[in-house]
Structure 1
């Protein structure tokens, strides 16, 4: 158990930095799509999330996980796509619930959902995808 969690804090901090960059991309694009261009919050959230996943994939692969399992790039990309598709659905559900049931401002809902999905994505990458 200890060897499996070795370097967890270091890896989490690197993922936090990479995730922070991806979150800024996500929030900035959401802001532009929703508040400036008038897209529905669900469409804006989906579009911004997809771009942030691309940023997160490349930065995370290079600086956090470094393809430590030596996956074929296509297998790794498909695995990340599956993981992030569930992350996207979680993001959209959380935003919807926060706005429709909690009457929370959309930008605030987006930021809150990002935090929860960040934990989801890191956990699945660390203990499922890169558990080799």
Structure 2
């Protein structure tokens, strides 16, 4: 027989997993949007892949904030503008990771820009999730609504 504390811990684990699954789905969708914009900016407009990746990231992360606030971090008590500012500050470090990683992979190592952006996304995605979960929205351990 399990103790009540174990049941609460298991319940939190399921809620945390559900939140992460929601974040992954939202992030996956906005990342596909990010890649489409990267392709448009690079192949359509002829922009540098590093600049295009930065701009596409900023646009996609803004869309991600709006959707994540509604679907992923529903338990937050932060006002929309305050949360968006925190989200942008966190995304700013993600932007540095994206543009820095793209510069290294594309400009120095001459890797294909879409593959490079996909590789960089693993680091930025986890970075953004953890900081938003614990710092910006502060919903870790709170029940999902």
Superposition deviation, residue 37 in structure 1: 1.4
Equivalent residue for 1:38? 46
* Equivalent residue in structure 2 for 1:90, among 83, 97, 108: 97
TM-score by length of 2: 0.82
Number of equivalences = 131
CA contact (8 A) 1:25 1:51 kept: no
| Structure 1 residue 95 displacement after superposition | 1.0
Task: Please say which structure displays the higher CA radius of gyration.
Answer: 2
**Distance in 1, Cα, partners of 2:38 & 2:132:** 24
1:53 aligns with 2:61: yes
> 1:8, CA displacement in angstroms?
1.7
Check 1:129–1:4 CA distance in 2 against 1; reply closer, same or farther (3 A cut): farther
- Once the two structures are TM-superposed, the CA of residue 6 in structure 1 deviates from its matched residue by 6.1
Q: Distance in 1 between matches of 2:11 and 2:96?
A: 33
CA distance in 1, matches of 2:92, 2:11: 30
97, 112, 116: which one aligns with 2:123? 116
Give the structure 2 partner of residue 70 of structure 1. 77
TM-score (norm 1): 0.89
CA distance, structure 2, for counterparts of residue 81 and residue 96 of structure 1: 21
What is aligned with 1:129? 136
